[in-house]
Homo-oligomer: A and B are copies of this chain.
Amino acid sequence: MYSEDGVRELDRQECLRLLATAHVGRVVHTHHALPAVLPVPFCLDADFAVVVRTSAESQLAGAIDRVVVAFQADEVDPSAHAGWSVVVTGRATVVTDPAEYGRLRRTGPHSWRASRHDIFLRIEPELVTGSELGARRLLHEARRTS
């Protein structure tokens, strides 16, 4: 189903499938009563939790432990007028279990930074929503050219 403005809502499974193809996402939280948005490296864990890597000294580490945050990723091709956007909303927790930490050091997202001490944050996929953008226009064009 496409809405009037060419946006198609995606179901949870479609969202997670698209999310798994991305490497950069954004943690959206509140900082000093203002919205804060920070791009981070991430991966989806086996249970579809979002695992984010950041420096232990970063503002993010202190700000979002045990807080409900939004995590967003997208891929948009402006020239094709098409793309997708997915938002995962859920509680973030710093990974403190040593075995879990060791596993994520080996298999989790790579660090972008020069930090000596990185931490991992898990964001539970409590709510997963997403949309396909410009889908109707693509459909129109597909019909016109076929």
Contact = CB atoms under 8 A, between A and B. Distances in A.
Given A87-B36, A89-B35, A78 B24 contact: yes
Query: Taking chain A's interface residues, is the majority helix, strand, or loop, or is none over half, making it mixed?
Result: strand
Given A4-B55, A5-B54, A57-B3, A114 B137 contact: yes
Interface residues of A, number: 45
B87 A113 contact: no
A17 interface: no
Contacts of A41: 78
A131 B55 CA distance: 15
A6 B113 contact: yes
Contacts of A74: 26, 39
